[in-house]
Amino acid sequence: MNWIVSELFYPDEVSSAKILTDIALKKISNSEVSIICGPPGYEEAYNIEHRKITSQINIYKIKLPKLNKNYLFQRLIRLLLLTLQMSWKILLKVKDNDKVLITTNPTFLILALWGLKKIKRFKLEILVHDIFPENLVPAGLIKKNSFRYKVLNKIYNSAYKNADRIIVLGEDMKLLMVEKLNCFSNPIDIIPNWSDDEIMPISNFFPSDYLGVAFKDKIVLGFAGNLGRLQGVIEFIEIFKTSQNPDIVLVIIGDGAVRSSVQKKIDLEKIRNVFYLGPRPRSEQNLFLNACHIGLITLIHGMKGLGVPSKTYNLMAAGKPIFYIGDKFSEVDSYINKYDCGWSFDWDSQSEIKDFLNSLSFKYFDQILLKSSNSIIASENFKKGKILELF
């Protein structure tokens, strides 16, 4: 029996839920699959479907009281309750020699599995989307030289070493895990995320018609995805608003912890060339990705090796060049350099970022089209069927 244990799963539409659902659908071609997951509605603003996914997948959904994950204390309580109930379900349902794939959300589950694996003796694979406690450092929640960090790091390292296989999203993440888990003898494999089959360029598509905002003769930069603390969206708006270029606009679509802060900043500072349009359903993903000329990806400083935004692959599939701001030698930076499919900057290069923003115009469009073509070529390496075979 194959088990997948994750906070997020179908019918939620957020990327992590879609990724785990695709993995489950792939696995049922070879064996029976059961799911232990959290309740639906992780992002309340997104639409969710309620039809049964398939009779071949058994889904055990954990029930939780209504808690707001965007508030730190409530999120902590939610994670604790989720971990306890998931652990109990694993203890009751999973048998010796079953195969269990977990993600790093909820993060406390990695610790619980440390003990459960000694009791049930199942095969454990960890799909690493976030590395804890390292990801707390760039978020400003803990200092790397603190006693608390050192204790957490030691505990989590021991829990990770309990796995029979670790799956990471990119080369930078693998290097970090190899260093973190010194002398770990089991495999650490790279399996990147993938582009959805339905994502592709749309010809003769006019962003203004879809977005409902008139952008005649404007270069549209589009950010679509999680508005979390690690994404650096507010930091980018601070740079973007200083641009003197009347030919560019920034469109933001998504939901998350800093959603209200983004809206408040735009409104209070009367930033006329930045538009926050709220979340859009995943069924419209091909439309809102095509509703920009350049796709924006930002990660705050210190995120190298700690995650790869899944929208990277869908932006490439939509034929959008990527404008990336984040750590050098991170996975997105390496893609841009390898495939020449966009432009990459670090946060210390603010003058270069402003120069780039000021240079954008329809006179520059030939270069945008060239990098758009390169993005489509790059996306061939990240087709869903091809990547899912690696699981």
pLDDT tens string, the chain, 391 residues long: the values are 899 999 999 888 888 999 999 999 998 877 889 999 998 877 655 555 555 667 789 999 999 888 777 777 888 898 999 999 999 999 999 999 999 999 998 999 999 999 999 898 999 999 999 999 999 999 888 999 999 999 999 999 999 999 999 999 999 999 999 999 998 999 999 999 999 999 999 988 888 888 888 888 899 999 999 999 899 999 999 999 999 899 999 999 999 889 999 999 999 999 999 999 999 988 899 999 999 999 999 999 999 999 899 999 999 999 999 999 999 999 999 999 999 999 999 999 999 999 999 999 877 788 888 999 999 999 999 999 999 999 8
Whether 305 and 372 share a structural domain:
yes
Q: Are residues 189 and 212 in the same domain?
A: no
Which of 129, 164, 194 terminates a domain? The answer is: 194
Residue with tokens 């659902």: 21
Q: Tell me, what's the pLDDT at 217?
A: 83
For residues 302 and 156, membership in a common domain is answered with no
Query: Which tokens hold the place of 154?
Result: 């030691």
Q: Are residues 183 and 317 in the same domain?
A: no
- Does residue 159 sit within a domain? yes
Domain CATH number, residue 82 = 3.40.50.2000
Asked if residue 179 and residue 216 are part of one domain, the reply reads no
Q: How many CA atoms, within 13 angstroms, populate the side-chain half-sphere of residue 293?
A: 22
Q: What is the pLDDT of residue 387?
A: 95
pLDDT tens sequence across 339-386 = 999 999 999 999 999 999 999 987 778 888 899 999 999 999 999 999
Spatial CA neighbour of 42 closest among 20, 58, 27: 20
Same domain, 220 and 363: yes
Give the end of a domain, one of 194, 219, 247: 194
Q: Is 201 part of any domain?
A: no
In a domain, 200, yes or no: no
> What is the sign of the dihedral through the CA atoms of 346, 310, 331 and 114?
positive
User: In Å, how far are 132, 150, 323 from 144, measured between CA atoms?
Assistant: 12, 8, 29
> What integer best gives the mean pLDDT of the chain?
91
- Asked whether residue 242 is domain-assigned, the answer is yes
- Shared domain check, 215 and 140: no
Q: What is the pLDDT of residue 44?
A: 57
Q: Convert 283-314 to b/e letters by CB count within 10 Å (16 or more is b).
A: eebbbbbbbbbbbbbbbbebbbbbbbbbbbbb
Examine the fold and report which residue of 164, 194, 224 is the final residue of a domain before the chain moves on: 194
pLDDT of residue 28: 85
The crossing angle, in degrees rounded to 10, of helices 331-339 and 171-180 is: 140
CA atoms within 13 A on the CB side of 4: 29
225 and 357, same structural domain?
Answer: yes
Whole-model pTM over 0.85 = yes
> Per the structure, how many domains does the chain have?
2
* Range(s) of the domain holding residue 320: 207-384
Q: Are residues 81 and 48 in the same domain?
A: yes
